[in-house]
Amino acid sequence: MHMADALISPAVGGTMLAATAGVAAYSAKKITYDIDEKKIPLMGVMGAFVFAAQMINFSIPGTGSSGHIGGGMLLAILLGPYAGFLTMASVLLIQALFFGDGGLLAYGCNVFNLGFFTCFVAYQLIYKRIIRKGITSKKIFVASVISAVIGLQLGAFAVVLETLLSGKTELPFGTFVMLMQPVHLAIGIGEGLITAAVVSFVWKARPEILEKAAFGEAFGNISMGKVLAGLAIAALLVGGVLSWFASSYPDGLEWSIEKTAGTAELEQPGGIHETLSKIQDKTAFLPDYSFRESEGESGGEAEAVDTEESAWPAVSAGTSVSGIVGGLLTLALTVLTGLIIGGIKRRKRKAIA
């Protein structure tokens, strides 16, 4: 479920990074005031535990295959929402940096999808409510499964929304939702069952660990209102700033819409997908090339290119060729530069030796 940088736009990535930073800052503040510092190594070691636990293959009965857990829900249950969220955030940062699982720009999206929905929504609204009046094995089971399923469903839906809003890939909304939700229902049930098994084991062996986390002895009580308000303000501020930035320096897609349709307005009542397909109808193939072609045809007029509107299939072989030639040459130039720098370095080293 990790989102990659290749599939998101800077505006979506930036907004989600800001929202994540807001929640993380609030959590860090909460922990600093409410928790004894003893919990810092516990968070660190539990973060490493998630990595280690992802190596464990749990055999899935009746399928002959095995799966592993994501761990977001488990962290929330064992550490409480604030510490759980921060720990998940550091796990995801290490995954992005060292394994390329999910990008740095998509980092905010990933922390939000995998950490916020589990720690602050599923844990807070479902798990905690079910076990409020005392912990039993049965309650742990029901609460873990339901909250893991809901947490993952919300996360999967957020992936769909973030991907569609980014507009880097063409997937009809309905198809995408039908692809993501059922798959993550199955994953969520698996995750919930394993979480339930692990939590009830911990509860039997060391009940004090769960009681501390659940009844907020050391973790303080949460005010959802404050979290949501802070989140909304951060998202609005950054969303506003970024969209202003985005429209004064439009990205490739908007830029080509602006050129062909005269407006960069993306929000239309017809829904995102409809809008996107409209845009697509109007967008010319590799816009730069097609107007260069019309330039050539109209006798090398240097200016007045912006008003040129090229019909969709009007891509002559000549322009594609110039594009491909240019691309290959750029790559060749890049490799050549690399070779030259490498050569200079080698010569320098020889001179020293």
Partner 1 sequence: MLKSTQDIHRIDINNRETQGAALQPCPKNLNRDLILLMASAGDSFYNILHLDELARMDTSIHRVHPLAKLLVTVAFLVAVSSFGRYDISGLLTFFFYPVTIFVLSEIPAASILKRLLLISPLIVGMGILNPLFERQTFILGGVVLSTGWITFLSILIKGALTVTAALLLVATTGMDRLARALRMLGVPRIFVLQLLLTYRYISVLTEEVARMQRAYALRAPGQRGVHTRAWGSFAGQLILRSFDRAQRVWQAMRARGFTGDYNIGEDTRFKFRDFAYLSGWIFFFAVARIFDVPGFIGSIMTWLAKH
CB of 125 or CB of 330, closer to partner 1: 330
Handedness of CA 272, 152, 118, 112 (dihedral sign): negative
342 in contact with partner 1 (CB under 8 A)? yes
**Binding test (CB under 8 A) with partner 1, winner from 98, 134, 221, 303:** 98
| Phi, psi (deg, nearest 5) at residue 59 | -75, 135
Rounded to an integer, what distance in angstroms lies between the CA atom of residue 148 and that of residue 198? Answer: 13
Of the candidates 6, 324, 307, 54, the residue with the CA atom closest to the CA atom of residue 167: 6
Examine residue 160 and tell whether it contacts partner 1 (CB under 8 A): no
The position carrying tokens 């010319």 is 284
Name, in order, each residue with C-beta under 8 angstroms of 54's C-beta and a sequence gap of 6 or more.
68, 69, 70, 71
Q: Residue 187 carries which DSSP code?
A: H
Is residue 253 a contact residue for partner 1 (CB under 8 A)? yes
Q: Which two tokens stand for residue 113?
A: 């999808």
157, 185, 218, 292: which one contacts partner 1 (CB under 8 A)? Answer: 292
- Taking the complex as a whole, the smallest distance from the CB of residue 73 to partner 1 amounts, in Å, to 13
Dig out the tokens for 70 from the structure.
């994501």
Comparing CB distances to partner 1, the nearer of 36 and 267 is 36
- The number of CA neighbours under 13 Å toward the Cβ of 294 is 16
Q: Does residue 89 interact with partner 1 by CB under 8 A?
A: yes
Q: How far is the CB of 277 from partner 1 (least distance, A)?
A: 9
What are all long-range contacts of 289-292, with beta carbons under 8 Å and residues at least 24 apart? 289/315, 289/319, 289/320, 289/322, 289/323, 290/314, 290/315, 290/319, 292/319, 292/322
Instruction: Tell me the per-residue interface mask from 317 to 336 with partner 1, x by CB under 8 A, - otherwise.
Output: xx-xxxxxxxx-xxx-xxx-
Q: Does 237 participate in binding partner 1 (rule CB under 8 A)?
A: no
313 binding partner 1? (CB under 8 A) = yes
What separation in angstroms does the CA of 350 have from each of 340, 345, 347? 15, 9, 5
d(CA 79, CA 46): 9
Q: Of 125 and 325, which has the nearer Cβ to partner 1?
A: 325
Of 170, 274, 297, 301, which lies in the binding site for partner 1, with binding defined by CB under 8 A?
A: 170
Binders in 61-80 for partner 1, by CB under 8 A:
61, 64-67, 69, 78
Q: Exactly one of 46, 187, 234, 238 binds partner 1 (CB under 8 A); which one? A: 46
Give least dist CB 75 to partner 1, A.
11
- How many positions of this chain bind partner 1 (CB under 8 A)? 118
Binding-site member from 34, 258, 288, 309 for partner 1 (CB under 8 A): 288
Which parts of 8-27 interact with partner 1 (CB under 8 A)?
Answer: 8-10, 13-14, 24-25
State CA 143 to chain mean position distance.
26
255 sits near partner 1 (criterion: CB under 8 A): yes
Structure tokens at 315: 């891509």
* Shortest reach from residue 34's CB to partner 1, in Å: 12
Task: Name which of 59, 77, 78, 57 is nearest 68 in CA terms.
Answer: 57
What string marks each residue from 121 to 140 as x (binds partner 1 by CB under 8 A) or -? Answer: --------------------
Q: Which stretch binds partner 1 (CB under 8 A): 92-100, 122-130, 213-221, 303-311?
A: 92-100
Does 298 bind partner 1 (CB under 8 A)? Our answer is no
